[in-house]
Amino acid sequence: MTPEEVKGNGYQKPEVQAGISAASRAFLEALARRKRARGEEVPPLYQQLLGLLPEGPLTPEGAQEHSQGTEAVAATLPPPPPALSALPEGPIPTREELAQSPPPPEVMPQSPLAVADRLLAKGEAEGTLPPLSERAREVYRTLLALGVAWLRRLLGGKRPPRSLSQLTVFVPNDALIAVLGIPSASLYRALGELTEKGLITRAAWRTAATLRGKSGVYAAGTLYAVRLPHRTRRPRLGAEDFAHPWRDLEGDVERGKTAWRALRESKEKPLKGDAEVLEFLLDFSLSPPRQKTPLAIDSLTGLLRAKPADRRRRVEELALGLAKEFKDPGSVRFYAWVLWNALRAEIYGMWEGALALVEWAIARVREALAASLMSSRKEGIRRPGALLAHLLNQQGLLPLLRQAPQWRVA
C-alpha cells in the first residue's frame, strides 16, 4: 500500500494520532536544549514534533507548551491594569538595538552624614531647627547620621514611613567622645543644650550581666531619641526602646571591646573617614534582628530600592519561595531569570513597570491555584510556572526579556 493510499484510507499509526509520548517528548526537549547550548541548530523534524519549541534557555520544563488547559485558565483571569499592559511604543527591539543605548549611571544612596546635612538644611529652611552652638550642632549632626545608618540596617531596602518624626540611637558616650575628639565636659554641655531645645531625649540603658565575677545591672550605654530637624514634636523614649537588646555587654567585655578602651586607643590612632566613624559607633550595637516574615513576593518593586549587594540574596530568596509555593522545585532558575531580567528592564528603561507586571502575573497564578482548590471538580493546575510564562508572554514582556542585554544589576 502506497503512502497516498494510506492517507486516502485515513489510516495512521496510533502514536501519530495520539502525539508523541511524554517520555519521548522529554527526551526530545532535553536533546534540543543540549543542541542549543552547543550552538547547534535543532533539526526541523524535532521542531515539528515539539511544536516549534521557542528558544528560552531558562524557562521551566513545559513552560513553552501552552496547552489548551493553560490558555483556558488564563482566559478566565482578569486583565492587567492599562499601565501594566501597555507595550513600549514600536516593535520589540532586538538585543543589538538595546545594547546600543548605554545604561544610565547607577544612583548610589547618599551617605548617612549627607542625609543628616540635608535634614539640617531642611529644618533651617522651614524654621523648625532652633539656633545651635557649633559644638551642639556637631553632636546633633553625628547623632542624626547614626540614627539614619541604624534605620537603614533595620529597614533593609524599604523606605521609612513619611510620618517619621524621630530616630532612636544607642551609643556609649565615651565612644562619642572618641569620634568627636572633644572633652567629656564639652560633650555633656552640648547634650544639655540639645535637650533644652527639644532636639533629643536621653537616658541610660541598663542590662543584667556578670562582669569579673560580679552579677548585677550595669549601664551599657545611652539611648537617644533624636528629633528630625524638620519636625516639631519633642522626641520620646518608650518602654519598647529600653526592652530592646541593644548590646551584649558581657561579650564585649570578654573581647575587650569597651568604650573606655576605644577612647584610649583613639588618642593613639584617630579614626579616619566618616564611614569608619559611623561603623565604629554602630559596632557597639547588636545587629537588628531578622524578622521572620513571609516572603515578600508581593513587593518585587523593593528590589529597585535594595542595595546592589543585597539584590542577589533577595532574588534567590524570591525564586526559591516561588518554586516552593508553586511546588515546582525544578524551575528555580526560571523564576530567578524572570526577576533578574524584569529588574534589568526596569532599571535600564526598557519597560517601566516590568516588576509590577510580574507581580500581577504571580497574583493571577495564585488566584487560579486558589480557584482550582475550591472547584468541585478538583482539577488542579499542574504547571503554575507554565501559566506564569504564558501570562507574561501574552502581555509581551517575555519576548522583551529574552532580548534584554545582560547588563549588571547587582
Same domain, 310 and 218: no
**For residue 104, pLDDT beyond 60:** no
Higher per-residue confidence, 308 vs 67: 308
Same domain, 166 and 250: yes
- pLDDT, residue 38, reads 63
* pLDDT, mean of residues 299-304: 69
Higher per-residue confidence, 9 vs 245: 245
Q: Rounded distance, CA 40 to CA 263, Å?
A: 67
Please tell me whether residue 176 adopts helix, strand or coil conformation.
helix
Same domain, 259 and 163: yes
Per-residue pLDDT band at 292 (split at 50, 70, 90): very low
Of the ranges 135-144, 177-186, 315-324, the best mean pLDDT one: 135-144
Could you tell me the maximum CA-CA distance found in the chain, to the nearest angstrom? 110
Q: Domain residues for 120? A: 112-285
**For residue 392, pLDDT beyond 60:** yes
- pLDDT, residue 202, reads 94
Per-residue pLDDT band at 134 (split at 50, 70, 90): very high
What separation in angstroms does the CA of 220 have from each of 147, 285, 354, 405? 18, 10, 48, 52
- pLDDT, residue 174, reads 85
Pick the range with the lowest mean pLDDT from 67-71, 254-258, 299-303, 365-369: 67-71
Q: What is the DSSP string of 224-244?
A: EEEE-TT--SPP---HHHHHS
Same domain, 268 and 310: no
Task: Specify whether the CB–CB gap between 257 and 285 falls below 8 A.
Answer: no
Same domain, 355 and 399: yes
Per-residue pLDDT band at 135 (split at 50, 70, 90): very high
**For residue 196, pLDDT beyond 90:** yes
- pLDDT, residue 384, reads 82
User: Which pTM does this prediction carry?
Assistant: 0.48
Count of structural domains within the chain: 2
Higher per-residue confidence, 394 vs 107: 394
* pLDDT, mean of residues 71-76: 69
- pLDDT, residue 100, reads 66
Q: Rounded distance, CA 97 to CA 407, Å?
A: 14
* pLDDT, mean of residues 370-397: 72
Find all residues with CB under 8 Å of 220, minimum gap 6, and list them.
172, 205, 206, 207, 209, 246, 247, 249
- pLDDT, residue 227, reads 95
Q: Rounded distance, CA 381 to CA 391, Å?
A: 14
Per-residue pLDDT band at 375 (split at 50, 70, 90): very low
The answer to whether residue 104 is domain-embedded is no
- pLDDT, residue 54, reads 43
Cell of 334: 526560571
**Domain endpoint, select from 251, 285, 319:** 285
Same domain, 368 and 315: yes
* pLDDT, mean of residues 137-160: 86
Q: Rounded distance, CA 272 to CA 111, Å?
A: 15
| Burial (0-12, 13-18, 19+ Cβ within 10 Å), 309 | exposed
Same domain, 147 and 227: yes
The answer to whether residue 37 is domain-embedded is no
Q: Rounded distance, CA 176 to CA 241, Å?
A: 20
- For the chain, how many helices (H) and strands (E)? 21, 3
**Domain endpoint, select from 257, 285, 313:** 285
Per-residue pLDDT band at 187 (split at 50, 70, 90): very high
The answer to whether residue 8 is domain-embedded is no
Mean pLDDT, the chain, as a whole number?
A: 76
- pLDDT, residue 293, reads 38
